[in-house]
Amino acid sequence: MSDRSLTTDMAVRAYPLPRGRRRGRRRDPGPPSGMLVVVDAETRTDITQRLLFASYRVYAADGCLIEEGLVAADDLSPDERQNLEDYRRGHAI
């Protein structure tokens, strides 16, 4: 065996499982609207993983794009904010 280590990047998503039944009656949400909201958030790579920006798209039931946009963190540096603005302009968002 070799003394070298193999490293790789990994992403993990976790979903909590509910504990038992909740008290009270649950409201019926009704039929699905057919609309779809897609959100993707980018965070800093340090231990805090603070938000950098998020992008979102809203689709109608027929698949047509209704709205898209970007949301910037309050604490972006001027350079980071300019990079995001350049991206927004370059992609007509």
Residue 51, domain member (yes or no): yes
Residue 70, domain member (yes or no): yes
pLDDT at 12 over 60: yes
Burial per residue of 11-38, b for 16 or more beta-carbon CB atoms within 10 angstroms, e otherwise: eeeeeeeeeeeeeeeeeeeeeeeeeeee
Residue 22, domain member (yes or no): no
- Compute the average pLDDT of residues 3-15: 63
Domain count, the chain: 1
Q: Supply φ then ψ for residue 88, to 5 degrees.
A: -60, -45
Say what the pLDDT of residue 33 is.
82
Residue 9, domain member (yes or no): no
Tell me which H or E stretch contains 83.
helix 78-90
Range of the domain at 63: 36-90
Confidence of residue 90 (pLDDT cuts 50, 70, 90): very high
Residue 84, domain member (yes or no): yes
Residue 40, domain member (yes or no): yes
Half-sphere exposure for 69 (CA within 13 Å, toward CB):
6
Residue 6, domain member (yes or no): no
Q: How far apart are CA 48 and CA 41, in angstroms?
A: 14
Residue 1, domain member (yes or no): no
**Residue pLDDT, tens place only, 17-45:** 677 666 667 777 778 788 889 999 999 99
